[in-house]
Chain A
Amino acid sequence: MTSALLWIFLPATLGLALLFFRRAGNFSIAAALGLTVFLTFAAWQLPIDTVLQLGPFSIEISPTLNLFGRAFTLAEADRPLLAFIYLMQSLWVLGAALARPRPLFVPISLLAVGLFVAALSVEPFLYAALIIAVVALIFIPLLVPPGKPAGRGVLRFLIFQLFAVPFILFTGWMLTGVEASPGNFNLVLRAGVLLALGFTFLMALFPFHSWVPMMAEETHPYFFGFLIFFLPTIAALFLLSFLDRYAWLRDSDFVYQLLLLAGTLAVLFGGLSAAGQRNLGRIYAYAAMAGVGTNLQALGLGGIDGIQVFFALLLPQALAMWLLVVPLAVFWGENKQSLRLKPVQQSMMSHPLFSAVMLVAIFSLAGLPSLASFPAHLSLWRGIAAFSPWALLASLLGALGLISVGLRLLFTWLAAYEVKSKGSAQEDEAGKINKASLDLTNLYSWAFCILGIGGLLGYGLLPRLFLSAVPALSARFPQLFP
């Protein structure tokens, strides 16, 4: 058995099979959850390229699968990353039980994760751009439900994601030339510009970010959340592969300065824009942009520190983005597919547990002390300060923007109770109370709340426990993390 068969083709095949059972409700979720939990466990525990003796049977997971003359390689060093990806996918599948997106989500997300892993394992790794573009295509039926025309944000998303392909593929071809003659400044410059453009499209960085807030308003927040978490994360890992593979990129100070600049702009723009929004979907979109910016800043620190901060940020960010989107999906369903703050206010009152999780997740994304992202943010800010005080100031402003969003949501939530208490004399009290405690009686909501807030607080208060995984995650990139 090859690792590609286990972590690429198995989930993709189940995803395809579940397309036929998508109306079977919880069966689809249970099957997908079972597989992703198993794959997480397998990535965590089963060594690759080592013979395992199970009673009379012996199993060996070989690292390479050859297909059409190209290799898909998932080696021992990839296991921590695989465990992370499938752990996140398990959470997204689990969240579907609460968020109740369209049934197509579970099969397509499984297929997408299989393809994402394929993108990270294909050799030459440049072909990842093509595989990521295929993921963008298969997500369109989710983003545009039957009976509705495609919004402008979705079309722009498609165009920009596909635009990235030619840039990255051409860069790959040019980079072989650069390796042969690293002194050729013109060639290096052209390759660098093409690479930067490709990743700007792929990661929705300024000025090609316009589809992000547009799509956040047009589509179901759960689908949007999945895409805006996985796409830039996989793109960032893809970018790390470039840095790891090419010495002239890895050793260039200019590349790190560019990453730091792009990241800082995204953090500043994302944080401040989020603060000015009146739609929860758009707030989520800008918060996600700020998150992508933070990741780029971490990479911009360069060296061993940079990659460690990047992975230290990844897990808390992933958790916070998932925790933030589940309540949004519930509110979206209750408010006629709108996430405007005013109508959502009532839902926030009806779902105090979801609202609390949402607030804690936003504060965690901002890097508030004692929450999950804080330890990594602290290292990041310390590193940025050594490069440029201006970049640090911009980062703190971005974080302040996200904190102000959290405070505003808190006031909106509390104001809903005030409005209710004023109007309660004239209204039917019994009906209101029942609605007001909608999720307090739901066991799943309690579990979600405890898992969410407990996870974010636990990570923030006991960071060493979680950060011990960082060196193992970084080991996938041996040149960057020797």
Chain B
Amino acid sequence: MSGLFGILLVLLIAATSIAILVSRDWRWLIAGLGLQYLWAFLLIIPAWPLELAAVKIVTGWMAASILGLSRLSLAVEQPEMGPRLPTSAAFQTLAAGLVILVVMGSAPRLADWATAISLNQAWGGLILIGMGMLQLGLRASPFRTMLGLLTLFSGFEILYAAVEASTLVAGLLALLNLGIALVGSYLLIGPGIEARE
């Protein structure tokens, strides 16, 4: 994964994650998440056999579908808890820009030090980790929290795939991603469920 295609993938990852951060329409958020998993899958392919790498995209799309279907069943979005940082698109884009600047500086060092991780994988992985953390820090609703966690984990998985190719780890990480989505789904629809116990 080198040359123009690799750089294009990194740019697409950056663009998609910024779109997820800034967008307010949940449909765009879910679509963005799905695309993000596609780019992450393409970055993982050089490190893993195709059939194992496919687990990532299948799991990711399933997670996105679970969150999407749960959000679809809600009439109105739950309000976010407590006072948070500004949520204007300009502020968030600026914050995302700062994250990307930090990643531009640190990714080459990571790729230098961990030779198993290519520069594009380092860029892509660190961008997603940074954006995920930004999501978690800026927003406090369950939906946004789950998006942030899924983004963070897909970034981590790009980096980790380069150094570890175990079926059990792939399975457990897939389970974790699905678990995050299912918990997100429960937290979204839970408040509307009438307690019966």
Interface string of B72-88 (1 = CB under 8 A from A): 00000010011000000
A261 in the interface, Cβ–Cβ < 8 Å? no
B24 in the interface, Cβ–Cβ < 8 Å? no
Distance (whole angstroms) from the CB of A124 to the closest CB of chain B:
9
Nearest opposing residue in chain B for A155, CB measure: B145
A103 contacts B197, C-beta separation under 8 Å: yes
B179 contacts A159, C-beta separation under 8 Å: no
Segment of B14-22, B36-44, B156-164 in the binding face: B156-164
Identify A68's interface contact among B82, B152, B164, B168, CB under 8 A.
Answer: B168
For chain A residues 160-195, which have a beta carbon within 8 Å of chain B? 162, 165-166, 169-170, 173
Distance (whole angstroms) from the CB of A259 to the closest CB of chain B:
26
Distance (whole angstroms) from the CB of B148 to the closest CB of chain A:
8
Distance (whole angstroms) from the CB of A397 to the closest CB of chain B:
33
Interface string of B127-155 (1 = CB under 8 A from A): 00100000010001010010011001100
A146 contacts B167, C-beta separation under 8 Å: no
Docked Cα-Cα span, A162 to B180, in Å, equals 9
B171 in the interface, Cβ–Cβ < 8 Å? yes
Nearest opposing residue in chain B for A139, CB measure: B183
Segment of B4-12, B26-34, B96-104, B188-196 in the binding face: B188-196
Distance (whole angstroms) from the CB of B122 to the closest CB of chain A:
13
Nearest opposing residue in chain B for A140, CB measure: B183
A207 in the interface, Cβ–Cβ < 8 Å? no
Return chain B residues, CB-CB under 8 Å to A158. Answer: 145, 149, 183
Return chain B residues, CB-CB under 8 Å to A23. Answer: 197
Q: A67-B168, A70-B168, A155-B145 are in contact. Are A134 and B176 (CB under 8 A)?
A: yes
Q: A137-B179, A159-B136 are in contact. Are A148 and B191 (CB under 8 A)?
A: yes
B197 contacts A130, C-beta separation under 8 Å: no
Q: In terms of DSSP, what is the predominant structure of the interface of chain A?
A: helix
Nearest opposing residue in chain A for B145, CB measure: A155
B175 in the interface, Cβ–Cβ < 8 Å? yes
B187 in the interface, Cβ–Cβ < 8 Å? yes
B48 in the interface, Cβ–Cβ < 8 Å? no
Choose among B142, B159, B167, B192 the residue with the greatest number of A CB atoms under 10 Å from its CB.
B142
Return chain A residues, CB-CB under 8 Å to B163. Answer: 173
A127 contacts B168, C-beta separation under 8 Å: yes
Return chain A residues, CB-CB under 8 Å to B179. Answer: 134, 137-138
B197 contacts A104, C-beta separation under 8 Å: yes
Nearest opposing residue in chain B for A103, CB measure: B197
For chain A residues 122-160, which have a beta carbon within 8 Å of chain B? 127, 130-131, 133-134, 137-138, 140-141, 144-150, 152, 155, 158-159
Distance (whole angstroms) from the CB of B121 to the closest CB of chain A:
14
Distance (whole angstroms) from the CB of B175 to the closest CB of chain A:
6
A162 contacts B149, C-beta separation under 8 Å: yes
List 12 other contacts, CB 8 Å, given A133-B176, A159-B136.
Answer: A67-B168, A69-B166, A130-B169, A137-B179, A140-B183, A147-B190, A149-B142, A158-B145, A166-B153, A169-B156, A169-B160, A173-B160
Interface pairs A-B: 5 shortest CB-CB: A146-B193, A137-B179, A130-B172, A68-B168, A70-B168
A residues in contact (CB < 8 Å) with B: 22-23, 67-70, 102-104, 127, 130-131, 133-134, 137-138, 140-141, 144-150, 152, 155, 158-159, 162, 165-166, 169-170, 173
